[in-house]
Amino acid sequence: MHHEPQPGSFSGRPEIDRSTLRDLLLDSLPGDTVVWRHRLVAATPRPDGGWELTFHGGHRTGCYILVGADGARSVVRSLLTDVPLSGVATLAELNIGDVDRRHPDLAELVGPGNLWCVGVNQILAAQRLGDGSLRVGISLPADDRPIDAYRRKPALLDMFGGWDPRLTALIEAGDSAPTPRLIEAMPIGTRWSSRPGVTLIGDAAHLMPPVGEGANQAMLDAAELASRLVANPADPESAIRAYEEVMFTRIHPIAGMSARVQAMMLSPTAAEDIVRFFTARPAEPAPAD
């Protein structure tokens, strides 16, 4: 199946490289707003309200409102819920730099957007990035194999034995060893009882399979929480409660959709199911994250 948007069309879901998006957001802030290399290891309530924060290496500071934006393995999440994470897939990524010059055949194969090669319980995908490189992703169901089993190209090539060599060339051309990670998700419908001075946004609040909504919902969380805090500075607790109720309602159907798409993509009938999914929506481009 081939989908090509009309030239100049920005309808639907435009895409942007994650690094470019990050730079746009960071460049809008004063230079000292974000402090790098400070990994949070503990947050404890202070007797006079607020939180004492301890970072790796021993550095400490305090705050009155703590927003956990610390991702899948959030330390702040444990202050609000002990909900367990479940593994839903294994993803291994590679990068092919300067692909037009070094691998013109692969550049032509992938084109200017995304390529998905779908098999039985496995996907080999590639995405063109703005710097002229390709990001290659191998998706497989979560299993009992150790994560290190996915760190070698020969092992990945064995998993795709029998595939067309023009496709598995995407694995062979990777500039370095694959980077694997376990893809996890929180249970659909996760909620918590509001607690003074602390809340969550993004993956810390609603970790979902990476099928196109993670960054979008994280940015919307941040915008909605900020707007409520600014509109009600005298009562941040009410602002946080109002944000959480709206966020829980918004996320529930999106988390359900993400789980269904993830299951569909790695099912035995994934190829037919994905074609049917997209041809039923002829005006909607592939999801972007």
- Specify the CATH number for the domain of residue 235: 3.50.50.60
Query: Is 6 among the domain residues?
Result: no
pLDDT tens per residue, range 187-216: 999 999 999 999 999 999 999 999 889 999
Q: Are residues 105 and 162 in the same domain?
A: yes
Amino acid 11: pLDDT: 61
Q: How many domains does the chain have?
A: 2
pLDDT tens per residue, range 231-272: 999 999 999 999 999 999 999 999 999 999 999 999 999 999
The DSSP symbol for 91 reads: E
pTM above 0.75, yes or no: yes
Phi, psi of 125 (to 5 degrees): -130, 155
Query: Is 2 among the domain residues?
Result: no
Amino acid at residue number 254: I
Q: Give the 3-state secondary structure of residue 117.
A: strand
Q: Are residues 45 and 178 in the same domain?
A: no
Query: Is 57 among the domain residues?
Result: yes
| End position of a domain, from candidates 161, 185, 209 | 185
pLDDT tens per residue, range 43-101: 999 999 999 999 999 999 999 999 999 999 999 999 999 999 999 999 999 999 999 99
Measured distance CA(243)–CA(137) in Å, rounded? 35
Q: Are residues 42 and 65 in the same domain?
A: yes
Q: Looking at the predicted structure, is the pLDDT value of residue 141 above 80?
A: yes
In the chain, the percentage of residues whose pLDDT exceeds 70 is: 94
Q: Are residues 77 and 192 in the same domain?
A: yes
Query: Is 236 among the domain residues?
Result: yes
Note down the domain range covering 264.
18-84+186-279
- Specify the CATH number for the domain of residue 96: 3.30.9.30
Q: Find out whether 228 and 242 touch, Cβ atoms under 8 Å.
A: yes
SS (H, E, C) 174-216: CCCCCEEEEEEECCCCCCCCCECCEEECCHHHHCCCCCCCHHH
Q: Give the 3-state secondary structure of residue 161.
A: coil
Measured distance CA(121)–CA(13) in Å, rounded? 27
